Amino acid sequence: MTKTTGTPTAVSFTGAVKTYGAVRAVDGVDLRIARGETIALLGRNGAGKSTLISLLLGLHPPDEGTVQLFDAPPERAVRAGRVGAMLQDARAVPRVTVQELVAFVAGRYPDPMPVARALELAGITDLARRRVDRLSGGQTQRVRFAVALAGNPSLLVLDEPTAALDVEARQTFWRSMRAYADRGHTVLFSTHHLEEADTHADRIVVIDRGRVVADGTGEQLRRAAGGALVSIEPAGRGTEELALLPGVRTVEVRGKRVLLRTDDSDKTVIALAALGAIRRLEVAPASLEDAFLALTAPRKETA
């Protein structure tokens, strides 16, 4: 299926379910990540990304199904120092300096990277002597990245790693993440930034209501959601007949214009021309954002 089919497995979810009361936060997830892959988890707020990550790290057991890291239970891989994580809600330890904290974490791993290297990759060399509880939000986030890297783990798990970062820190982060991934490590990150997922991940996994609703490259997702967007001013025509045109998957009214998501823009445009009375035609390839919205549309919405 993918170029990584024969590669050893880093992460596997099989029928994984995690409920919180009536909420099925993770609802039957099957997912395999090969060693060396960089995976982006995309999903709306509350889709289940953080819960999936907590199962992966062994912070919670699944209610049903199994989760494995490197063909073993997550706790074993975590205890063996094969995993580094950067979570959203990790709290700063008071009074220690950045350097002390990173050195402490590195010391708990069997094969850590030099502390100076972790600080450099996270872009915080100049913060080494600062106290960790006296940093800005973005600085704290970069310290968390250094902590995740410190053990030189085979698998790096990053929950919304760029959420609080400014433009420059974001660029430094992605450069370092890529350098890390290029050395054969496996990286899983969650994000709300579609262009980051598209640019920096080998594969994008879209989660919606606790399920995997799409899994592929940005290009594959764009294609799956409908290859192109044809937009027109309908000049008084109803939208019903437009929905029946060849290739058209969905019809959406946006102000004066009508947007047709189509699998075959050539056929759709030829049919539109045959109908006549169509003004200001525009054709554009579907964006990843279009694909994401189509994949995660609320159930009641008529697209």
Residue ranges binding ligand ATP (CB under 6 A): 20, 23, 25, 43, 45-51
41 versus 221: smaller Cβ distance to ligand ATP: 41
Tokens 């995997």 found at: 212
Closest CA to 53 of 8, 80, 90, 81: 90
Query: In the complex, what is the shortest distance from the CB of residue 193 to ligand ATP, in angstroms, rounded to a whole number?
Result: 12
For ligand ATP, the closer CB: 58 or 81: 58
**Of 102 and 158, which CB lies nearer to ligand ATP in the complex structure?**
158
Query: Is the CB of 42 or the CB of 143 nearer to ligand ATP?
Result: 42
Hey, what are 78's tokens? 């975590």
Q: How far is the CB of 297 from ligand ATP (least distance, A)?
A: 16
Query: CB neighbours of 189 closer than 8 A, spacing ≥ 6?
Result: 38, 39, 40, 41, 157, 158, 159, 160, 161, 177, 200, 201
Name the minimum Å distance from CB 210 to ligand ATP: 7
Comparing CB distances to ligand ATP, the nearer of 11 and 47 is 47
Beta carbon nearer to ligand ATP, 122 or 206:
206
Q: Which is nearer to ligand ATP, 86 or 106 (CB)?
A: 86
Shortest Å distance, C-beta 134 to ligand ATP: 26
- Residue 24 CB, nearest approach to ligand ATP (Å): 8
Q: Are 191 and 161 in contact (CB under 8 A)?
A: yes
Query: Do 296 and 224 contact (CB within 8 A), yes or no?
Result: no
Q: Whole-number minimum distance, CB 109 to ligand ATP, in Å?
A: 26
The DSSP code sequence of the chain is --TTTTSPEEEEEEEEEEEETTEEEEEEEEEEEETT-EEEEE--TTSSHHHHHHHHTTSS--SEEEEEETTB-HHHHHHTT-EEEE-TTPPPPSS-BHHHHHHHHHTTSSSPPPHHHHHHHTT-GGGTTSBGGG--HHHHHHHHHHHHHHT--SEEEEESTTTT--HHHHHHHHHHHHHHHHTT-EEEEEES-HHHHHHH-SEEEEEETTEEEEEE-HHHHHHHT-SEEEEEE-TT--SHHHHTSTTEEEEEEETTEEEEEES-HHHHHHHHHHH---EEEEEEEPPHHHHHHHHT--TT---
Supply the minimum distance, in Å, between the C-beta of residue 56 and ligand ATP. Answer: 12
Select 45 or 302, whichever has its Cβ closest to ligand ATP. 45
Measured from the CB of residue 45, what is the shortest distance to ligand ATP in angstroms? Answer: 3
